[in-house]
Amino acid sequence: MAKRTPTFICQNCGASSSRWQGKCDSCGDWNTLVEEGAAAAGPMPGRAARKGRLFALEPLAGETHDAPRLPSGIAEFDRVTGGGFVRGSVLLIAGDPGIGKSTILIQVAAALARAGHRSIYISGEEAVAQVRLRAERLGLSDAPVELASETSVEDIIATLSEGKTPRLVVVDSIQTMWTDVIESAPGTVTQVRGAAQALIRFAKRSGAAVILVGHVTKEGTIAGPRVVEHMVDAVLSFEGEGSHQFRIMRAAKNRFGPTDEIGVFEMTGGGLREVTNPSELFLSERDLGSPGTAVFAGIEGTRPVLVEIQALVAPTTLGTPRRAVVGWDQSRLSMVLAVLEAHCGVKLSGHDVYLNVAGGLRINEPAADMAAAAALVSSLVNAPLPADAVYFGEVSLSGAIRPVAQTSARLKEALKLGFKRAVMPEAARGEAASDSGLRTTTVANLAGLVAEIAAEGSPARNAGVAVKKSAAR
């Protein structure tokens, strides 16, 4: 009998090594190599290699049809997935512990079951009684959802193959599943990859939509090998702050729909409630008349969203001022601060800077540059910004304000929520509707906006702002 050669697998990136070492050569992480059973590199002893079969090749041109979808019954969930579940698709949903993954999935399964579709919820972390308690708390006990508590992939697939093909199967979570063909503990890279492959193969063969729940690491990334994210059809992330009741679902990957849409939910005593107007929710507790706050008119997918950006600029005695940001890109903040220093005469080298996007939303588009800059200058000079104004525009490295897409949609959303004024790029003047009802103020460069805010500020605080006259013209 041949001697078994040990194989060490990195639990972060999935790279294999013939010997243990403290640091993974592929990803550079420490103490992530774990000994696992090696897969056979050829045909099993006594079995001949299978000869491949011929298959037909199709031309590129031909009649195509949109993938048929099954709406989940929850509009915000369908918005993120692209309209519902595609037959045979596999979705991976991840989020922090306690964020509400199991809650939203039991609600989706119950909605489909009430519509007459067979829905199965398999939990590898909780007993059936625990899932029933959650369903009772959410008022879903009457939904004909089939429950099970099982971790063996072979047993799960055998059970699902009996009887009518289910339309939706929820597996919570993939890290607890294990398969007999792999000799390693549940949760390891090899087991997660093997279990996911078996469930994906079942979904493609049967046409059932499968949702896999994935754990996340302390850095916020999905635990396990990245190859699982490439295997599934869609990767959804469930985000939110524990201190806020808002929950945001966004798609990091979607083969059947867009990846820039978000779904907004509110955590209540009866489960997750859909938020049809996120702007009104994010601005419900806005600080009116306070320096350092600006309302940003943004776009998330096809939906305009208004959110408050808060800034605090405070003097520091430290040799290196602190820069802290929540809900925005740290490097983007550094760029805006550099432009304010170089082209607008705003001296922030002796101040700590804190920036926060209210409500727990994370902003990715560069159109928030102008709103962030306005909030920073407002806090520095202690000058409140107009409470009925919204800001949007991209700041270039030269200090110019560049136009952004979907200007009319941003203005319509601001008008609907009662705002009277919009500060926007000069180049977007033609895109603004003449009958929008908003008083638009166009800005060609950031220095002009800084000069306008500084004129309303306190003289004692304006000492740190020396706007260059040539740049403000």
Same domain? 182 vs 327: no
pLDDT at 205: 94
CATH number assigned to the domain comprising residue 384: 3.30.230.10
In the structure encoding, which two tokens stand for residue 34, read together? Answer: 């774990």
**Could you give the angle at the alpha carbon of 172 between the alpha carbons of 169 and 174, nearest 5°?**
100
Asked if the structure places residue 50 within a domain, the reply is no
pTM of the model: 0.78
> What is the extent of the structural domain holding 428?
281-472
Claim to verify: residue 121 and residue 76 sit in the same structural domain = yes
Q: Could you tell me the CATH number of the domain that includes residue 195?
A: 3.40.50.300
* Alpha helices for 8-127 (secondary structure H): 75-81, 101-114
- Domain for residue 15, yes or no? no
Q: Is residue 56 part of a domain?
A: no
Answer yes or no: is 46 within a domain.
no
One domain, residues 115 and 255: yes
pLDDT at site 276? 86
Rounded CA separation 366/395 (Å)? 8
Which residues have a Cβ under 8 Å from the Cβ of 392 and sit 6 or more positions away? 296, 297, 298, 367, 368, 370, 371, 404, 407, 410, 422, 423, 424
317-325 contacts, C-beta under 8 A, 24 or more apart: 318/352, 321/348, 321/349, 321/350, 321/351, 321/352, 321/353, 322/352, 322/353, 322/354, 323/352, 323/353, 324/352, 324/353, 324/354, 324/355, 325/354, 325/355, 325/356
Cα–Cα distance, 74 to 271 (Å, whole number):
13
Task: Report how far residue 239's alpha carbon sits from residue 264's, in angstroms, rounded to the nearest whole number.
Answer: 10
pLDDT in tens, 437-451: 788 999 999 999 999
Cis peptide before 141 (omega within 30 of 0): no
Residue that finishes a domain, picked among 238, 260, 276 = 276
In a domain, 271, yes or no: yes
Look at residues 227, 253, 276 and tell me which one is the last residue of a structural domain. Answer: 276
Looking at the 3D structure of the chain, how many domains does it have? 2
pLDDT tens per residue across all 473 residues of the chain:
455 667 888 877 777 888 888 888 888 888 878 877 654 444 445 556 667 888 888 898 877 666 688 999 899 999 999 999 999 999 999 888 888 999 999 999 999 999 999 999 999 999 999 999 999 999 999 999 999 999 999 999 999 999 899 999 999 989 899 999 888 888 888 888 899 999 999 999 999 999 999 887 665 566 555 678 889 999 999 887 766 788 899 998 999 888 888 999 998 888 899 988 888 878 877 777 789 999 999 998 888 999 999 999 999 888 889 999 999 999 999 999 999 999 999 988 899 999 999 887 889 899 999 999 999 999 999 999 999 999 999 999 999 999 999 999 999 999 999 899 999 999 887 766 555 678 899 999 999 999 999 887 665 455 556 544 434 43
Say if 33 falls within a structural domain: no
Q: Does residue 4 lie in a domain region?
A: no
